[in-house]
Structure 1
Amino acid sequence: MTSRTAAAPLPARQSPLDRALSLRIAVNWELALYIAIFGVAFALRFWDLGSRALHHDESIHAQWSWDLLRGHYRHSPVFHGPLYYHVQALVFLIAGASDYTARVSAAIFGTALVALPLLLRRRFGTLGTMAAMSFIALSPTLVYFSRFFREDIYMALFTMLMVCAMWRYFDEGGTKWLVLLAVSFTCSVLVKEGAFISGAVFLVWLDIHLASELARSTLSRREEQVRATRLARQRELLLKAGVSDESELAKQLAAQPGIADFRMNTPGGRFVLTMAYAPFAWIVAALWPFLTTIRRNMDWPEKLPRSGDLLILLGTFTLPLLTPVSRHYLLEPLGLIETDRLSWELKLQGHIATRNLFALLGLFSVTTSIAAFAGLQWRPRLWGTLFLVCGALYLTLMTSFWTNSNGLVSGPWGSLDYWITQQDIGRGDQPGFYYFMLMPAYEFLTVALVIGGFWWATVKGDAFSRFLAFWLVGIWMALSIAAERMPWNNVHIALPAALLAAWIVARAFRAWTARPAFSQTRYALLSVAATAAGAMAIIAFLPGGAAMGAVRVLVAAVAVALIAYTARPWGRTAIPAIVVAAAIAAMAFFSVRTMISVTYQRGDVPKDMLVYTQSSPDIPKIAQDIDKLAAATGMGYELPIAVDSSDAYSMPWFWYLRDYKHVAYYDFGTSVPDGVKTGQFAVMLVNASNASKVNDVLASVGESKFGSPQKYPHRWWFDEGYGNAMSPGNNVACRYKPDHCGDVWDIQTWKSLADGIVHKGWLSTWALFLRDHDPDEILGVTGDERCNSCGSVDAWAYFPANFDRATGKISARPFEAARPTVDSAGRPMFGTVGPLAGQFFAPVDVETDPEGNLYVIDSSTKRLQKFDKDGNFLASADVRVVAGDLNEQSQPWGLAIAPNGNVVVADTFGWRVRVFDKDLKPTNVTFGTPPDTSKAPGPYDLFGPRDAIVDATGNIWVTDTGNSRIVIYTAAGEYVREIGTKGTGAGEFQEPVGLSQAKDGTIFVADMYNKRVVLLNANGEYQSSFEVEGWGGQEVIDKPYLEPLDDGRIAVSLPSVNQVKIFDRSGKLTGTIAPQNDPLSNPYGLAETTDGKLWVSEGGSSRLRLFDIP
């Protein structure tokens, strides 16, 4: 009997989840550091993501993503896409819509970007990979735009994936990396048309690299052939000479010059031949299978080099999408088609003419056939599959999953066609040196490392470092030449800068031969880092002055000496590593500080160039108040709201009000909707430029349902004074236009730069900005306390008078007329914001009569109001010829009181002067006509009459601002004479604005652009002048006034710096009114009281306040 052994049972097959859970990963210090860096990057990108107001562009992208989710999205090249709209729509589907979730997809892509250097670890090494991840994780530019819903961070990720695919293919070959390259490129062009710029840089480099490989092959084989020929010839000669012993023969052959030491494959030789091959290398790659004879004659390899593979794949995928270039640079210039016939913007939206469709099909057939010819002869199966799959992906997203057939045109043709046409517009209107300013301001750490190691990376580096250098320089130059220069494009420069800086860090430490173990150098390296960091902190935070400059030099010298002494035992090869460590330590704190300040401390307050034009933080707060009102009234999302859509003010409101069902978007600049008068709307959000029209309508009702509206900056921006800084003296801002200054290729730019550094203190200004990134501290101007230096376009938010925005409750309180009160410091004041009696929107000039009554003109409401000496309302009048006529041009700025009590009003942009009696009834005196700039001004051609006085004889003196003169008329409006011409000399004016007369007859003129007060005698003859620092601004609202004081001095207002200054008649400053606890806001008119105090009209806060005169 035999026994049978039972078969061992087969192990149970594990599920994928079981296999995943059973994985064991060995954690070492390197992996731990990678995880730590990635964790920091994740936290920086996701923490407090929704606190910043959505930027104008962000609101568009968020709304379009939201619309895509609801089936309303259609691709438009104007706003790029469509890939990131689909990604963000998925986020909305999963997590709902909010300011936080609107930025989640950007944060995901920005975080993923940090991990991608791991794919290039073979090239970077361990230290370089950590440096690359760290630089990307902490880059001020990359962190900020990883928390910003625009397309650039998505494109950066796909661009980086393309780089990884290229170099992994160089290193190991493999079809998977070609697949990754094709998909990454497709996704990149599905994000932003700027992908063509990066693609062009890569294609040029691949072409040059292929040329260099072919040149190396030619020279290497020719070198071998020449050596072999010379060796054979010399061997034959030696044999003939009787040398037959092989060892002796070999010895003498080795000693022969011009054989073993013969070189053709030298750096110089390769460079020359590479430049000869480069113009044709791409053609060689495309025709490689057909060039057998040429390849043999040129000693090229049988197989196309890997750079050729990449060149063919990337080139053939790009070529069909470049088809629109033919319209702009071939078809239209040669007259083959009519101008704009194939313009996407003008002719190819909606219904497309049949002949245009056939033209597009024909053009794409040509380019696609050329691409297919090159691709299919290269690797037919791979190329054909990738082209079909990527093409299907591209068209599927462009057509919104085949629901929008027009996407077949707006994508392949419209995307590039539209953005080529935009090159003549120059969005952003920035100078050619823009990125040369932006990169050092924010990426100074990596820029410093790149500058320090650039020669090393290019001359002494390898192909990878040269590629990074070429990418950085190429994209930097391309973006500087392109017309649209915007801060978000800095992403595409900051990324290669971070990678090249990381390579330099790794190379510096690799150069340290015989480096001791880390345990032996760690304390010394920490000492170096601490010394460098401490020295930089001292240098940065020391106060200014020549003496402190010497101290800075001394601190720097001591730090260098200490670092040199510490590094001395390690030898010369340690110098690069020590320098790199010291540089990183010195700048790391300031780089991280910059990143934190721009991203978290003031992300929607544009004190940084990186922020650019930004929605103000008031917008989300107003949106929250609207939600409170909707809840308090019980109307919920049925609340009726009117939004002024002029000048793109509807953005970002259409995002913040997306759930409300009755939001009406009107262009208030064209006409005020009837619902304003009938009280249809519960909330109105009105462009400040149209507020006067709304106020007219509300004033005509007589009793407003709205309380005092809130003025807020709708969009605001970093002060772009640098545009004028490079001006050669003609006061023309340096912009992108060819006839303007600021071009990096213009010698005048560099002369201006040198002048600024040597004579204008630009280095100290930039040092302060680099340290603190706070222009308010540098410029010293005042305005909105959150950003004193910011420019803005403003709006007004109207809420019901019975709604308490602080509590969110409805009350039954009736409207009460404005009454005099006091400010936070107890100073008398009167006026609130609004269109009714005792209220103002933009009070400018103020005058007093002998009884002490106050007269105030409001440039926004066009109303002249009269108050008693305490600020109690007495009367008002509309200064327009036809009261309440919204179509009548009018914007009064100046007042004067005649000896008989009449009130003279200078209606600046009504181009006239009107006279009212003391009860504000219009008289029959009105004079002035709109200017005709085609001829010399006549007696009544008033180009912006800004202010007026009435002399002792009753004559009316008017500053005719635009014509740079003062015109005198009788009390009846008859022309008498004029004073002054345009110029800078005695008796000449440039932008005369404020006008006032002292009791002794002296007349004072605010000569704005000449930055001076001009003194005339009672006959108008020039007496003297003195300079006023703070005048000279170009803004239309920066117009100063004057008030002669009873003690003989003169008070002048400085609206742009929110101050009132007191001078004696020689120009000596004797006092300043600039309260800190409740600052002035655009002070204009001034009026002295009988008891020696000064009323100040504040246009920025719609009030008048009474100050003691210092």
Structure 2
Amino acid sequence: MAERAVIRNQLNQREALPSPAATDWWNQPMLGPYTRWQCLATAVFLIAVVNRLLWLGERPFHHDESIHAFFSWKIVDEGISHYKYDPVYHGPVLYYASALVMWLFGDSDFTARLSAVLFGLGILAFAWPLRRWIGSTAAFAFLLLFTFSPALTYFTRFLRHDVYVGLGNIMAIYFAFRFGETRRDRYLYLSALGLAIAFCNKEDMYALIPVSLLSLVLMLVWEVLYAPQWRPQLAAAWAETKGLLVDQWVPVVGSAVLFLVVSLTFYTSFFTHPENWNPVTPALTYWWGQHQIKRIGGPWWYYFPQLVSYEFLIFFPALFLLLRPLATPRLNERPSTKVFFYLTVATFAVFVGWCFYDWHQAGIVILVPLAFAGLTVMQRWLPSRFVRFMVIYTLGCVGFYSWAQEKVPWLLFPILMPMSVLAAVWYRDRIDEGMLRKPVAALATAGLSALTIWILIASNYLYGAPRPAEAPGPRTAELLAYVQSTYDIHMVMEKIEEVGRKLGTGTKTRLQVSGNATWPLSWYLRHYPVNWAADVRKVDTPVVIVDKEVQQNFDKALLDRYEKIPFAIRGWWEPDWSKMNTVTLARWLFTRQAWSPVGSSDAVMYVLKDLAPGAEIPVIAVNPPPAPRPYTMQPSLEKPAAVWGKKGSGTGEFNEPRGLAVDARGFVYVVDSKNHRIQKWAPEGQVLKTWGKEGQGPGEFKDPCGVAVGPDGSVYVADTWNHRIQKFTSEGKFLAEWVEQTSGFWGPRGIAVAPDGSAVFVTDTGNKRVVKFDPNGQQLLQWGKEGSRPGEFIEPVGLAFNQEGELYVADTGNRRVQVFQQDGTFVREHPVSGWEEFYTEPYIALLGEDLIATDSFNHRVARYNKVGALVYVWGKTGAGPGEFNRPIGVAVDADGAVYISDTMNHRIQKFVIGPAQ
């Protein structure tokens, strides 16, 4: 025991930074007995309090925020048992913390976000104890960076789980180190409590806990390898580990029990839902499935543009700290160390190459920490044990979130937290060296600091949400929120409040809401009696809100008695990096003007014109699209006869394949949408020909969607976002191109050739119509408009012909397939199951007399008989054989084989299915 205590004390004396001396600049008195560090740190902390609380409730609630706020309020309104863990909405701590704040201070937009602010300030407060290991200068730098960071400020004012996880993690790590330093039981208990708080917040912890443990192990490996005599050091480390397990088993077991008690208490909703005692299985099942299907996928470098454009004062100093060993190699190390160094560099080079070639399969969670941990081992450049841990932990976080297929801006938070510690250490070292006192360095730092403060103000207070009511012109946008509710939501609420005042009904005013506006309006309308209808068949309320896509039916029924007010629910910006250059980037940095188009999800509010107190509310029938129909049978898992391709841009690889077509010889034509090309495959699975690239010239494409083959072998392509049709030979030779000749196409998707080759039919999806051409592009006919009656469409996509020459049209928004004669005469319609969302993008094909239809929203394929009855369904979410991630395209060959473009799995699956049962 005594020997181990001596070893531990020697290790701590060597590893921990000494406490600041009394004569240290930071410890000089400034205000009475209070030191400079205490006074300046308190001032910065107060600035953080102000910039977190300033206009906290002004920004409209994001879709996710509204869910979290609403469920938290329901706990206050209906009791603690109302919350029941669902991995879709993450863990319970956020909900109970927010509910507590609302219970204490009332429910409002301000108080709904207040608990996130408090947890964020809790993280900031750890700057005080962190001085122990990184010193006063670095701790103050951490305080400054965290206070003025645009992204960290944004997400501590944002009601999502990441800031709650952050406080739990920093608490767990800090007290774990304090326990290792002192072996005092209370620190281990506090560490376990912090870990439980993080674990009860978000499923990220199933990865971050292993990353933390790996970081601790590699930190200890460093100590053993760099000890003057590694064998005694290894023996000491083993003795310490054994002592922990043998002499201090009581606090170890007690901490585990504390972790389990806290976790069970929260996940069972304070034991009101004991069936949720095991959150692990549903959490891993759901989120591993989401990772496999790449629900919100993106490239491994997704976070790099945000780090560079928002957090250059954190990202680059942290990067410089990591690259320091490469800049100052120590060639006098022993041979084993040199071997380890070169193996590490080689491993990292292989990893980078793998990321570029086949990034979605790269084992980032393992490779990145190991590679950079090797770099850490190579040099004696980190005197602090804590900083060594943070280096490896930061790289583990970067690796995990780069690998995980949930690419969303708020996951910057767990990356930036440890990265800001490394940046703070770099600033400390440069200050100690006197580098930042040089005029050039000082001016550069001041300029970048001013730019950071501007970005903080712009992203948090000026442009944090779209303002559709602004004058027409270039729109502003932020990378921190690729989708965000607009300020139109405030306009909607003001109008509803005005209606309540005029009718004298206040928050008792009855409302009807349908469609995409459900969130965030569920939060804003929590005190109102609302009919949250899937579709509205009759109107008997003074206010009705529906999606823009169904407005035509409501216009006809309501405009005599109701005022129509269009508004944008959410704005979104997916940057087109190909359009970014130095000028557009600079303009965005200083004006926030987006360099590529900004879109929106729109709705319509109808408000009764006669709003006198006691006014009679008419009952008016409307005819919206039908509500989605559930499937009447469970899907089967069909084994594919073949699977072609994987993600990439090489031969035989795909990037979001869409439309499919099969010619008379059985050759399969695939629209390789995001590679902007067409691929021709033999039925045996060999690539025969590819043609096309991104562009607007002949034979070039912009996100093409549909393809069809005529009896003569001519290939027709719906060049969707070039808004045109192109015609080729079967070998890809360009023949012709054309556009719609009246008002132009808007995103044409589906295309089909009449069985006799006499006409080409195109779904002009954005204009809600079908257009008929002859094979040379001469326009012959068009029919359709927005609506739900026969011959009207909402988001038409797929086209197919039956053996009688009748044209089938996938009418997505009306959840039906319409059948027409070739002159546009309506014949019949068949309702379909699924197709809940307008972006389902279903394509169709005929298998004999049966209709095959994809349903990308539900990750399955359905088969209907001639009269429209559902006879078979196959597929489920996943990446295995017979599983799908947004199946879109479909084609059938002469032998009855069914080809499906498994779009987000970036492959084609071929099925041979038997006769319908």
Per the shorter chain, which TM-score range? 0.5 to 0.7
Rounded Cα–Cα distance in structure 2 between residues aligned with 1:25 and 1:399: 51
**2:483 counterpart residue number:** 613
**1:243 counterpart residue number:** none
Rounded Cα–Cα distance in structure 2 between residues aligned with 1:636 and 1:184: 44
Deviations 1:524-559 (A, max 9, x none): 94x82xxxxxxxxxxxxxxxxxxxxxxxxxxxxxxx
Report matched runs for 1:389-538 at 5 Å: 389-409=258-278, 411-456=279-324, 458=376, 459=379, 460-462=381-383, 463-512=385-434, 525=437, 528=439
**2:199 counterpart residue number:** 189
Rounded Cα–Cα distance in structure 1 between residues aligned with 2:509 and 2:60: 22
- C-alpha deviation, 1:987, in angstroms: 6.3
**2:455 counterpart residue number:** 594
Rounded Cα–Cα distance in structure 2 between residues aligned with 1:107 and 1:402: 28
Secondary structure, counterpart of 1:384 in structure 2 = helix
Report matched runs for 1:237-316 at 5 Å: 299-300=235-236, 303-304=239-240
Question: Which residue of 660, 666, 680 corresponds with 2:533?
Answer: 666
Give yes or no for the alignment of 1:706 onto 2:556.
no
**1:60 counterpart residue number:** 67
Secondary structure, counterpart of 1:423 in structure 2 = helix
Deviations 1:105-138 (A, max 9, x none): 0111112221212111022222111100000111
Rounded Cα–Cα distance in structure 2 between residues aligned with 1:1008 and 1:78: 33
Secondary structure, counterpart of 1:59 in structure 2 = helix
Quickly say closer, same or farther: Cα 1:684–1:206, change in 2 above 3 A.
Answer: same
- C-alpha deviation, 1:456, in angstroms: 3.5
Quickly say closer, same or farther: Cα 1:217–1:718, change in 2 above 3 A.
Answer: same
Residue 44 of structure 2 contacts residue 144 of structure 2 at CA under 8 Å; is this kept in 1?
yes
Aligned residues: 576
**1:909 counterpart residue number:** none
Residue 802 of structure 1 contacts residue 811 of structure 1 at CA under 8 Å; is this kept in 2?
no
Question: Which residue of 583, 601, 604 corresponds with 1:796?
Answer: 604
- C-alpha deviation, 1:55, in angstroms: 0.7
Quickly say closer, same or farther: Cα 1:468–1:995, change in 2 above 3 A.
Answer: same
Residue 598 of structure 1 contacts residue 611 of structure 1 at CA under 8 Å; is this kept in 2?
no
**1:769 counterpart residue number:** 588
Rounded Cα–Cα distance in structure 2 between residues aligned with 1:131 and 1:453: 15
**2:136 counterpart residue number:** 126
Give yes or no for the alignment of 1:634 onto 2:531.
no
- C-alpha deviation, 1:994, in angstroms: 3.0
Report matched runs for 1:1063-1102 at 5 Å: none
**1:32 counterpart residue number:** 39
Quickly say closer, same or farther: Cα 1:964–1:99, change in 2 above 3 A.
Answer: same
Question: Which residue of 514, 519, 524 corresponds with 1:656?
Answer: 524
Give yes or no for the alignment of 1:689 onto 2:549.
yes
Residue 172 of structure 2 contacts residue 195 of structure 2 at CA under 8 Å; is this kept in 1?
yes
Secondary structure, counterpart of 2:158 in structure 1 = coil
Rounded Cα–Cα distance in structure 2 between residues aligned with 1:175 and 1:772: 53
Quickly say closer, same or farther: Cα 1:94–1:761, change in 2 above 3 A.
Answer: closer
- C-alpha deviation, 1:418, in angstroms: 2.2
Give yes or no for the alignment of 1:385 onto 2:254.
yes
Report matched runs for 1:875-894 at 5 Å: none
Rounded Cα–Cα distance in structure 2 between residues aligned with 1:887 and 1:497: 51
Rounded Cα–Cα distance in structure 1 between residues aligned with 2:491 and 2:599: 20
Rounded Cα–Cα distance in structure 2 between residues aligned with 1:66 and 1:467: 39
Quickly say closer, same or farther: Cα 1:813–1:682, change in 2 above 3 A.
Answer: closer
Amino acid at match of 2:188: L
Quickly say closer, same or farther: Cα 1:198–1:763, change in 2 above 3 A.
Answer: farther
- C-alpha deviation, 1:86, in angstroms: 0.8
Rounded Cα–Cα distance in structure 1 between residues aligned with 2:624 and 2:394: 59
Report matched runs for 1:669-818 at 5 Å: 672-673=536-537, 675-676=538-539, 680-696=540-556, 698=557, 704-707=560-563, 709-722=564-577, 725=578, 762-775=581-594, 778-779=595-596, 789-803=597-611
- C-alpha deviation, 1:761, in angstroms: 6.6
Rounded Cα–Cα distance in structure 2 between residues aligned with 1:494 and 1:885: 47
**2:791 counterpart residue number:** none
Residue 594 of structure 1 contacts residue 772 of structure 1 at CA under 8 Å; is this kept in 2?
no
Rounded Cα–Cα distance in structure 1 between residues aligned with 2:572 and 2:40: 39
Identity over aligned pairs, percent: 26
Secondary structure, counterpart of 2:741 in structure 1 = strand
- C-alpha deviation, 1:385, in angstroms: 2.0
- C-alpha deviation, 1:30, in angstroms: 1.8
Rounded Cα–Cα distance in structure 2 between residues aligned with 1:106 and 1:485: 21
Rounded Cα–Cα distance in structure 2 between residues aligned with 1:690 and 1:83: 39
Rounded Cα–Cα distance in structure 2 between residues aligned with 1:168 and 1:771: 44
Report matched runs for 1:950-965 at 5 Å: none
Amino acid at match of 1:441: S
Rounded Cα–Cα distance in structure 1 between residues aligned with 2:745 and 2:495: 43
Rounded Cα–Cα distance in structure 2 between residues aligned with 1:761 and 1:100: 36
**2:854 counterpart residue number:** none
Secondary structure, counterpart of 2:34 in structure 1 = coil
Amino acid at match of 1:981: K
Structure 1 unmatched runs, 5+: 1-23, 223-264, 266-297, 313-374, 516-523, 529-562, 564-578, 726-759, 780-788, 804-808, 816-834, 837-860, 862-883, 889-930, 937-960, 967-978, 997-1004, 1011-1033, 1042-1110
Residue 165 of structure 1 contacts residue 181 of structure 1 at CA under 8 Å; is this kept in 2?
yes
**TM-score of the pair, normalised by structure 1:** 0.48
Rounded Cα–Cα distance in structure 2 between residues aligned with 1:980 and 1:75: 51
Residue 706 of structure 1 contacts residue 801 of structure 1 at CA under 8 Å; is this kept in 2?
yes
**TM-score of the pair, normalised by structure 2:** 0.57
**1:158 counterpart residue number:** 168
Residue 964 of structure 1 contacts residue 982 of structure 1 at CA under 8 Å; is this kept in 2?
no
Give yes or no for the alignment of 1:180 onto 2:190.
yes
Residue 217 of structure 1 contacts residue 299 of structure 1 at CA under 8 Å; is this kept in 2?
no
**2:52 counterpart residue number:** 45
Rounded Cα–Cα distance in structure 2 between residues aligned with 1:717 and 1:590: 25
Amino acid at match of 1:494: L
Residue 643 of structure 1 contacts residue 666 of structure 1 at CA under 8 Å; is this kept in 2?
yes
Secondary structure, counterpart of 2:571 in structure 1 = strand
Secondary structure, counterpart of 2:274 in structure 1 = coil
Secondary structure, counterpart of 1:434 in structure 2 = coil
**1:994 counterpart residue number:** 741
Rounded Cα–Cα distance in structure 1 between residues aligned with 2:491 and 2:413: 30
Amino acid at match of 2:68: H
Rounded Cα–Cα distance in structure 2 between residues aligned with 1:384 and 1:451: 39
Secondary structure, counterpart of 1:176 in structure 2 = helix
- C-alpha deviation, 1:29, in angstroms: 2.0
Deviations 1:768-816 (A, max 9, x none): 43444321xx34xxxxxxxxx321111111111235xxxxx7799999x
Amino acid at match of 2:162: D
Deviations 1:454-509 (A, max 9, x none): 23485422233332222222111110101111100000111112111100111122
Residue 188 of structure 2 contacts residue 252 of structure 2 at CA under 8 Å; is this kept in 1?
no
Rounded Cα–Cα distance in structure 2 between residues aligned with 1:91 and 1:814: 39
Report matched runs for 1:928-939 at 5 Å: none
Rounded Cα–Cα distance in structure 1 between residues aligned with 2:68 and 2:125: 26
Question: Which residue of 766, 772, 775 corresponds with 1:1036?
Answer: 766
Rounded Cα–Cα distance in structure 2 between residues aligned with 1:694 and 1:153: 43
Secondary structure, counterpart of 1:713 in structure 2 = strand
